[in-house]
């Protein structure tokens, strides 16, 4: 039996185990939407903006380990996916985006809603396809999912012209294997590389493990703990590596870098070995490269060979699948203790506590997030946008199980928190999900509150409302002579009334003693809830290393004098 191209797309998605698609229809993709009605197994979630579709697919993928799927039409529909696709690319998240394209005869003629989306997304996808023949749809989707989920995961886009979806038919033939002769993601590492890494680990006196997102992607948390405990090596987690090890584990030191714990940055400065697992030494970790970890040799385990030696030179580069590499490495690592090093780290933590929440008559955002962890007992998924609230969540929230902090790391996309939380809740309906936002980022994608209401997605939305673009405001405060141009909001909506407009519960919190009760009330209220935490406007995030700086420029609290403008990026 021959099927239309649109029906072949649906059949292919079922073969890949897809159960939910986040999308928004338009002219060029309407044939696919017409076919979707015949496939009730494919639940479609209608977002209010295509950016939300990509970010919801991203959140779904991160919490489930499956490939997230989003769909959009041609032209502006496809370009609206771009920020979400770029987020997935930077953070190595497997999603497949399906877009409609203008009919084949119109391609290249500047037709209505025509955009070269494969050209636009070439730098921000792992791979993409323009499928010009109906017989090629099933193989393209088979390959897209395989590429998205294997090796270093990432987004893949499949662009299909309207006439290929609507007017052409073919027999549905599902390939047994993808036809990708040049695509061979690494598995086991070179034994010599592994042996060299083990030698450095066994010889080290002041070792540290830097655990990145790759630990979570490869489901290697148990092996990370086994390695740390076997050789008694403290673990520092990158922003995206948070939740790869329970916060309360005695060897887990937390986050380093620009807004990481001061004692972690000092520890990296003094370490004689860094064991980097599935992380890429981005600038928010390293600061000024020439001053980063000056005393340390480096073991770098990575599935993506292009990341090795890109930023930090490795003394033992180990290229392979992290789970399989650790299976090779663990038998070679000798049981060990590093008592003097542990005592020194304890002293650093005592001398540089970093996370003290000071007394204040005003409601502080740090207090809100610390309370969120206390009320939930660290047993929830926290989804953040980007900015001060993101850093405070990373510093003050506790995470007891893997993949429970979901955030836009590499791209730093404001607005990520609302749609990604919807995707996370749909992927893990058994887990409480909190979207933590600033008032600025929340307003970028708050249109998808309607998506939450329409689908009864039980996400709780915590807004840390300081009336500013907090992180940019902080930079202006510290580096630009307190010139707060374009960072103070005077027209914010009443978020409690906004909740009422959507027919959901809204709560406002202005005092410290109200915080825990509001969090508890939100959790006990069925369906979406907005909690508007009105926090101190001028609170800054510390510790802080200015962009392009090093540990020598680290500020552990408010500086007494003005600081020179940063030389690095934003």
Q: Identify whether the C-beta of residue 198 lies closer than 8 Å to the C-beta of residue 326.
A: no
Q: In Å, how far from its chain's centre is CA 129?
A: 25
Beta strands in 378-513 (DSSP E): 381-384, 405-407, 433-438, 459-465, 505-509
Residue with tokens 């000071």, as numbered in its chain: 358
- 221 Cβ contact list (under 8 Å, min separation 6): 215, 244, 245, 402
- 237 Cβ contact list (under 8 Å, min separation 6): 210, 211, 212, 243, 244, 245, 252, 254, 255
The Cα–Cα gap between 531 and 375 comes to 15
- Catalytically active residues, by annotation: 50, 112-113, 162, 471
The Cα–Cα gap between 439 and 469 comes to 8
Sign, CA dihedral 87-89-92-93, equals positive
Task: Tell which residue, 459, 448, 475, 472, has the closest CA to residue 531.
Answer: 459
Sign, CA dihedral 137-58-529-449, equals negative
Tokens found for residue 170: 């073919």
Angle at 120 between CA 119 and CA 124, to 5 degrees: 105
Q: Identify whether the C-beta of residue 9 lies closer than 8 Å to the C-beta of residue 140.
A: no
Q: Is 82 helix (H, G, I), strand (E, B) or coil?
A: helix
How far is CA 500 from each of CA 46, 492, 494, 505, 506, rounded to the nearest angstrom? 21, 16, 10, 7, 7
Q: Identify whether the C-beta of residue 197 lies closer than 8 Å to the C-beta of residue 318.
A: yes
Pairing outcome for strands 169-171 and 2-4: antiparallel
Tokens found for residue 246: 């329970």
Task: Tell which residue, 348, 438, 347, 349, has the closest CA to residue 393.
Answer: 438
- 367 Cβ contact list (under 8 Å, min separation 6): 357, 512, 515
């Amino acid at each position: 039996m021959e099927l239309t191209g649109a029906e072949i797309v649906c059949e292919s998605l079922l073969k890949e185990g897809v159960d939910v698609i986040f999308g928004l229809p338009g002219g060029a993709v309407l044939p696919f939407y017409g076919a979707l009605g015949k496939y009730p197994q494919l639940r479609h979630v209608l977002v209010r903006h295509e950016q939300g579709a990509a970010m919801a697919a991203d959140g779904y993928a991160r919490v489930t380990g499956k490939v997230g799927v989003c769909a959009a039409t041609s032209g502006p529909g496809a370009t609206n996916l771009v920020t979400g696709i770029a987020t997935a690319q930077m953070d190595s998240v497997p999603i497949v985006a399906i877009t409609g394209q203008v009919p084949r005869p119109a391609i290249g003629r500047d037709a209505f809603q025509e955009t070269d989306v494969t050209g636009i997304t070439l730098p921000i996808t792992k791979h993409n396809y323009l499928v010009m023949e109906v017989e090629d749809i099933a193989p393209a989707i088979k390959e897209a999912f395989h590429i998205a989920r294997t090796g270093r995961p990432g987004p893949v886009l499949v662009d299909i012209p309207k006439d290929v979806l609507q007017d052409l038919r073919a027999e549905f033939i599902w390939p047994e294997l993808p036809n990708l002769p040049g695509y061979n993601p690494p598995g086991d590492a070179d034994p010599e590389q592994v042996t060299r890494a083990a030698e450095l680990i066994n010889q080290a006196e002041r070792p540290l493990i830097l655990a990145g997102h790759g630990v979570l992607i490869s489901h290697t948390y148990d092996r990370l703990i086994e390695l740390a405990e076997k050789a008694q090596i403290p673990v520092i987690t990158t922003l995206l590596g948070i939740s790869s090890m329970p916060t309360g584990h005695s060897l887990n030191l937390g986050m380093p870098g620009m807004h990481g714990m001061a004692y972690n940055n000092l520890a990296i400065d003094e370490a004689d070995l860094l064991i980097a697992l599935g992380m890429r030494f981005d600038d928010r970790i390293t600061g000024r490269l020439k001053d980063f970890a000056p005393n340390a040799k480096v073991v770098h385990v990575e599935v993506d060979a292009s990341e090795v030696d890109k930023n930090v030179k490795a003394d033992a580069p180990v290229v392979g699948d992290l789970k399989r590499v650790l299976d090779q490495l663990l038998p070679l690592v000798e049981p060990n203790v590093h008592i003097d090093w542990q005592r020194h780290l304890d002293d650093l933590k005592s001398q540089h506590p970093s996370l003290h929440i000071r007394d204040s008559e005003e409601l502080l955002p740090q207090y809100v997030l610390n309370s969120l962890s206390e009320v939930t007992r660290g047993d929830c998924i926290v989804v953040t946008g980007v900015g001060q609230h993101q850093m405070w969540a990373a510093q003050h929230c506790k995470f007891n199980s893997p993949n429970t902090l979901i955030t836009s790391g590499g791209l730093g996309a404001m607005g990520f928190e609302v749609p990604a939380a919807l995707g996370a809740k749909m992927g893990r309906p058994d887990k409480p999900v909190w979207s933590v936002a600033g008032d600025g980022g929340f307003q970028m994608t708050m249109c998808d509150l309607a998506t939450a209401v329409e689908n009864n997605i039980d996400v709780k939305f915590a807004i840390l409302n300081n009336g500013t673009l907090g992180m940019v405001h902080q930079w202006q405060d510290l580096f630009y002579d307190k010139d707060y141009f374009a960072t103070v909001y005077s027209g914010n909506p009443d978020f409690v009334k906004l909740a009422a407009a959507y027919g959901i519960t809204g709560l406002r919190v202005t005092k410290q003693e109200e915080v825990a009760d509001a969090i508890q009330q939100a959790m006990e209220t069925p369906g979406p809830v907005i909690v508007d935490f009105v926090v101190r406007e001028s609170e800054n995030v510390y510790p802080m290393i200015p962009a392009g700086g090093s540990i020598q420029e680290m500020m552990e609290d408010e500086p007494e004098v003005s600081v020179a403008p940063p030389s690095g990026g934003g």
